[in-house]
Amino acid sequence: MSAVQGIRRELGDRPIITSYPLLRSKLSKYLGSSDFWVDLLSLSGVDIIYPGNRPTFQEFRSVGGDSARGLRSSTQRYDKYVSEGETMPTYAAGVHPGHLHACYELLGPDVAYFLGGSIALHPKGPGAGAKLCVDVLGEARNRARHARDGDKPYGAALSARLITEIESYKINGLPANYVPPENIFAESSVQPFYRRQS
């Protein structure tokens, strides 16, 4: 925290400071909650932070009761950080390109993405992985806008080309499944970000 504060005092708002607060859960027993550490970092001048408890998706079975509750809870957590507008939350930790469309529909455009494995594990290398992630998020944005403008509950599935490329990834020896938004919203009471904002 003192390093972040020092950067802010010396350089003002010029650098963008991001944090993946590994101490979040370790300090929670001393600080009362893991949110307190995240909030302290934000107050110290961190611009972009992983708040923890990101939305997760059940890829090999449908969303059950516990999964739906977890999805609601994590979506509310991200909504809190977005609405406060002090620190941009990141979506990170075990993400692959098949998650990105559903994530965009859930969390909206004001969330950053830390995509290590999503980029590095592409069969054709990190350049192709980065391009795929940009293409998926671009299509997700366009489909969410189209759904909002047409008053649909969520965006249509990605193009077949992108789904095929997503499923060329291998995660622990299994193909990385594409998680369409309809699977998420049909089995939980969570609404897409553009419906929660209206």
Q: How far is CA 16 from CA 1, 7, 32, 37, 48, in A?
A: 15, 10, 28, 19, 8
Q: How far is CA 125 from CA 18, 81, 99, 119, 151, in A?
A: 25, 33, 19, 8, 38
Residue 51, phi then psi, degrees to nearest 5: -80, -10
What pLDDT is attached to residue 63?
45
The residue type at 6 = G
**Across residues 139-148, what is the average pLDDT?**
93
pLDDT-derived band at 150 (thresholds 50, 70, 90) equals: confident
What pLDDT is attached to residue 152?
83
What pLDDT is attached to residue 12?
77
Structure tokens at 29: 């027993």
Residue 89, phi then psi, degrees to nearest 5: -80, 150
Q: Which helix (H) or strand (E) holds 19?
A: strand 18-19
Q: How far is CA 82 from CA 32, 109, 128, 153, in A?
A: 23, 10, 30, 21
Q: How confident is the model over 165-182, as pLDDT tens digits?
A: 999 888 777 788 999 988
**Across residues 82-90, what is the average pLDDT?**
91
Collect all residues with Cβ–Cβ distance below 8 Å to 187 and sequence separation of at least 6: 62, 63, 68
Each domain of the chain, given as residue ranges in start order, spans 82-196
| Integer Rg of the chain from CA | 18
Q: How confident is the model over 93-131, as pLDDT tens digits?
A: 888 999 999 999 999 999 999 999 889 989 999 999 999
What pLDDT is attached to residue 136?
97
